[in-house]
Structure 1
Amino acid sequence: MKNKTIVFGLLLALVLPGLAAKIPDRPEKLSFPKLTYEPPNGAQYRVPLKSGPVAFVVPNRELPLVSISILVRTGKYNEPKGKEGLAAMTGYLLSKGGTQNRSAEELEERLAFLAAGLSSSVGDTSGSVGVNLLSKDLDEGLSMLREVLTVPRFQKNRIDLYKTQQLQAMKQRNDDSRNIERRELIRLAYGDHFFRSQVTTKASIESITETDLRGFHQAWFHPRNFVVAVSGDFDRKTMVAKLETLFAKWPYQGQAAKPVPTNKQFAKPGVYLVDKEVNQGRVDIMLPGILRDNPDYYAVQVMNDILGGGGFTSRITNRVRSDEGLAYSAYSYFPGGTYFPRTFVAGYQSKSRTVLYAAQIVLEEMRKITQEQVTDKEIETAKASYIQTFPQAFETKTAVAGTFASEEFTGRLAKNPAYYKNFRAKIAAVTKDDIQRVAAKYLTPDKVAILVVGNKEEILKGHPDHPVTVKSLTPGGLKDVPLRDPYTLEPLK
């Protein structure tokens, strides 16, 4: 035993110096092999079902689980005027309100016994229904999913409970400045008449009936409006047959999906101030955005990562938080819209007296990136963040199915089937000239709409050491935005 220990020690003495020589003395000297990864091809999973939907079927035998997610072509934009909240209520109660054959309580009890999850929702531009369960319980899970999709109960006590919860939430709408900020940001970014700005009121929630719920459900929840993502422990051919049965012989006709409205209108330049007695002001500096199929999309994403989207490597974060200590979080985002242009936002939360000074700094950084080229290190870091995290879109079989189902749903798979194949090359091709060009094109400080929610008197005083006026921020001047009644959303007097 002693001899073996001596031999092992001698081996270590010989090997360790060689290993140590390969370990650099500084972390920045570490080098890694080039990432080699090719995304999957959505066509190999795509199955047009005879019963209407397109499905993406991705087997995975690693665990005895199955996940089924159904995207539905509907959304808030289909709500009749005066029935704001109908889409969300329908989406919630589909899986929470029972079925023709099971009460809500019985359905929940059975799901709990099976350790299964059943969910449903309807958002602005899509709906979803999904189930996750053990593969041995697949047939029963599909049976329950069929009931939820075709014969939901919309149980009265669940309708009443949902309404009560919504009214309680409304009562608190003005308690948190974050809620006010979110509400007014959408109004400024898209216009009062755009569907995203139509918010539930006490009257609209109380007016929704079981008949309304059934009408909305039967209009939009049918196979022609479905895109399905399925992954898990199953044989592909067998699963396709089960999906055909799931969607066959639908009990009602339904309507063809309507196009998502695009009639948005961005606010005029100015500082829009909501007077709210809080210690800190919430600020959003906004500009019109772009669609995701805009040729400038890739350069815009890299530019924004450098400006404020890259966390502690970004300029806005470093100036506002790290250098000046004016905010805990300072950021920007510049998403590409799917159906309509989204909005560029640079935001932060700061003490009242430093709100205007921080806004000045953000605008300075926006101007700077239009006037001077970014550094080699900045562009390399930004591009690497997109390229190196790219495989995360496909890190699980469920993610593979979901990603391609979303691409099918939004139409990009048909228009640009090589999007994911070419994504990294498009990002890598972005140059410093591209960044300066798109910054100059889209970051126009004289056109910003600045939303501020906070204590007006304190904010307008400014910082004694850094005097900044509203007029110096934007030629649009100051515009008072009243608080709204939490139940009616009419301006409070």
Structure 2
Amino acid sequence: MTHTLPDLGPNRPLTLPPQAEKTLANGLTVIAIRRAAVPLVEVRLRVPFAGADLARSALLANTLFSGTAELTTVQIAAELQAVGGALGAGVDPDRAMISGNSLASGLDRLMEILAQVLTGATYPDSEVETERARLVDRIQIAQSQPSHLARVALLKRMYGDHPYAVQTPSVAQAQAVDRDQLLGLHGARLHPFGAHLILVGDLDPEKVIEVAERRLGDWTGNGDPVELPPTPALVPGPLLLADRPDSVQSSLRIALPAVPRKHPDHAALQLANLVFGGYFSSRWVENIREDKGYTYGPHSLIDHSIAGSALLVSAEVATEVTAPALVETLYELGRIATTPVEAAELEQARQYALGTLQLGMSTQSGLAGLASTYAGYGLRLDFLAEHSARLAEASVADVASAAEKYLGPAKGVVVVLGDAKVVQESVSAIAPVTVQAASPE
């Protein structure tokens, strides 16, 4: 006996939770969102950090909570634990991000500790020394990994002289960082003007903004955020073969043009990417994973940064199938760029995109992550409702147009990391090739 699954119901408009927003006198924008699923609050503080020294930024993030004039690193951890909380920091080419959470009843204390760190982190020499050694170890480990080497080669090929071209510090740069440099970077860049504080959870939005203002209103700093120039347009050319002698696998990387979230083509391009290779049921995954078994986890995504966006395609394949896997990848890009998608596969991708969006907003942590990410681009949660509507309305013609504009293989740059003496001849039959030694930096 068989049963037919019912048709999917109509797409529902995205419902936004209650929220409030205020920009404080010091330039910090506080966004509070009520999501009372559990008695917790998620905290995200996003501070513009573009153009900051890579090694100093990484070490600052690792030592930010290592002590203040009032508390040692052990005491900070104990105080946070007492309110069911935690705080940590990280950096990327655009921002410094402090993330954490606490019981709703402990938010005031967590905010007090955060304020002490932001206004008086001391970066003790002993902690700096320990974390500097760990950072050096992490860099050295990364430099031995194919994924890192492929990323280094791709970023340089994409961005040329733009600051995004190098996103990992060298070992020598990390070893040279000292406490005084961290204090200087903190004072110069970790300030509230242009920063966004996101609070999501079991809270009254208006009242929690008052808490944030009381605790962080005295956080000050001078200087405007650094604005990076727009990323350069991709310049198609020969395939770059980054030689990694005796490698048993090849890393395939392709970068294609993309558009920022505010662009009218963004929703249609997102759907086109999903149909191509952006999720498990995509054409490319079906081709080189399910049908041919060339790789386990091929994936494509739209990577957004403040200065520009790109669509990135990546796969790891055995050395002996490097050329066939590249052929199939370029074929699938060409197919979606020249032939309209089927209505059924578009609808499947649409449901995946809408479902992922709903799922991302269903938890406090997910909602905080979305809100903080969009805030950095000058967007708010109402953009998600608008984007959801555009995803629901995008037609086959819209998606075909976006695919034609952005996904044609001739529009992109291709990097292959692998053993040149084994794969150069076969990939040269596909496209002109430039060979260079794989570089860890």
Normalized against structure 2, the TM-score is what?
0.90
Map 1:182-193; keep pairs closer than 5 Å. Answer: 182-193=151-162
SS in structure 2 at match of 1:349: strand
SS state of the match for residue 308, structure 2? coil
What residue is the counterpart of 1:145 in the other structure? 114
| Residue 26 in structure 1 maps to residue 3 in structure 2 | yes
Q: Which residue of 1 aligns with 2:279?
A: 310
For residues 168-210 of structure 1, give each alpha carbon's deviation from its aligned partner in whole angstroms, at most 9, with x where no partner exists. 2333344221221122121112224434415312332232222
Kept in 2, the 8 Å contact 1:320–1:327? The answer is: yes
Q: Which residue of 2 aligns with 1:465?
A: none
Structure 1 329/215 Cα, relative in aligned 2: closer, same or farther at 3 Å?
same
C-alpha distance after superposition, 1:235-290 (max 9, x if no partner): 4454232211112233x532121223324363542221122222111111222332
Q: Once the 2 structures are TM-superposed, how far is the Cα of residue 139 of structure 1 from its aligned partner? A: 3.6
Q: Residue in 2 aligned with 1:19?
A: none
Per-residue CA deviation, residues 421-455 of structure 1 (Å, 9 max, x unaligned), is 22233123322222222222222323432211112
**Residue 107 in structure 1 maps to residue 76 in structure 2:** yes
Q: Aligned equivalents of 1:424 and 1:198: distance in 2? A: 32
Answer yes or no: is 1:266 the counterpart of 2:251: no
Equivalent position SS for 1:319: helix
Q: What are the superposed Cα offsets for residues 68-102 of structure 1, whole Å, 9 maximum, x if unpaired?
A: 32211224x233xxxx311121122112x211112
Q: Is the 8 A contact 1:270 1:448 kept in 2?
A: no
Q: Matched residues, percent identical?
A: 20
**Match of residue 63 from structure 2:** 93
> 2:12 — aligned with what?
36
* Alignment check: 8 A CA contact 1:221 1:254 kept: no
- Residue type at the aligned position of 2:2: D
Name the CA shift for 1:91/1:174 in 2 (closer, same or farther; >3 Å).
closer
1:199 aligns with 2:163: no
Alpha-carbon distance change, 253 to 110 in structure 1, aligned in 2, over 3 angstroms: closer
- Name which of structure 1's ranges 138-147 and 301-310 shifts more when overlaid on structure 2: 138-147
1:481 to 433, 436, 441: 436
> 1:228 is matched with which residue?
197
CA spacing shift, 1:49–1:41, aligned 2, 3 Å: farther
Q: Is the 8 A contact 1:302 1:379 kept in 2?
A: yes
Partner residue, 1:327 = 295
Separation of aligned partners in 2, 1:149 and 1:213: 13
- Tell me which residue corresponds to 2:52: 78
Is contact 1:194–1:264 with CA below 8 Å preserved after alignment? no
Does residue 65 in structure 1 map to residue 40 in structure 2? yes
Matching residue within 92, 103, 119 for 1:134: 103
Paired with 1:39 and 1:114, the residues of 2 have a C-alpha distance of: 31
> In the superposition, relative to structure 1, how do residues 118 and 357 fare at CA in structure 2: closer, same or farther (>3 Å)?
same
> Does 1:124 find its partner at 2:93?
yes
Q: CA deviation at 1:50?
A: 4.2
How many residues are treated as equivalent by the alignment? 440
Paired position in structure 2 for 1:445: 409
Inter-partner Cα distance in structure 2 for 1:32 and 1:170: 48
Within 2, Cα distance between the matches of 1:397 and 1:322?
A: 35
Q: Which runs of 5+ in 1 are unaligned?
A: 1-23, 463-468
In the alignment, the residues of structure 2 paired with residue 374 and residue 64 of structure 1 have an alpha-carbon distance, to the nearest angstrom, of: 45
Structure 2: how far apart are the matches of 1:300 and 1:62?
A: 33
Q: 2:44, 2:372 within 8 Å by CA — same for their partners in 1?
A: no
Q: Which residue of structure 2 aligns with residue 345 of structure 1?
A: 312
- Preserved contact between residue 44 and residue 368 of structure 2 (Cα < 8 Å): no
- TM-score of the superposed pair, with normalisation by structure 1: 0.81
Structure 1 pair 133–192 and aligned structure 2 pair: CA distance change class (3 A): same
The reply on whether 1:427 has 2:391 as its aligned counterpart is yes
Structure possessing the higher radius of gyration over alpha carbons: 1
Equivalent residues of 2:33, 2:205 under 8 A apart: yes
User: Unmatched 5+ residue regions in structure 2?
Assistant: none
Counterpart for residue 410 of structure 1: 377
Contact 1:268–1:447 (8 Å) recurs in 2: yes
Larger RCO (CA under 8 A, 6+ residues apart): 2
- Partners in 1 of 2:78 and 2:326 — Cα distance? 53
Asked whether the 8 Å contact 2:153–2:438 carries over to 1, the reply is no
Instruction: Give the whole-Å Cα distance in 1 for the aligned partners of 2:373 and 2:318.
Output: 41
Alpha-carbon contact 2:13-2:388 (below 8 Å) kept: no
Q: Tell me the CA shift for residue 400 of structure 1.
A: 4.0
In the alignment, is residue 292 of structure 1 matched against residue 261 of structure 2? yes
Q: Does residue 55 of structure 1 match 2:40? A: no
Instruction: Indicate the residue corresponding to 1:456 in structure 2.
Output: 420
The alpha carbon displacement at 1:35 in A equals: 4.6
* Greater displacement, 422-431 / 351-360: 422-431
Equivalent position to 2:214, from 245, 255, 261: 245
Taking a change above 3 Å as real, the CA distance of residues 32 and 368 of structure 1, as seen in their structure-2 partners, is: closer
The correspondence for 2:329, drawn from 362, 367, 370, is 362
SS at 2:312's partner residue?
Answer: strand
Q: CA deviation at 1:330?
A: 2.3
Q: Quote the offset at 1:480 in angstroms.
A: 1.2
CA distance, structure 1, for counterparts of residue 366 and residue 293 of structure 2: 39
Q: Which amino acid aligns with 1:30?
A: P
Q: Which shows bigger deviation, 155-164 or 254-263?
A: 254-263
Deviation at 1:114, TM superposition (A): 4.3
SS of the equivalent of 1:320 reads helix
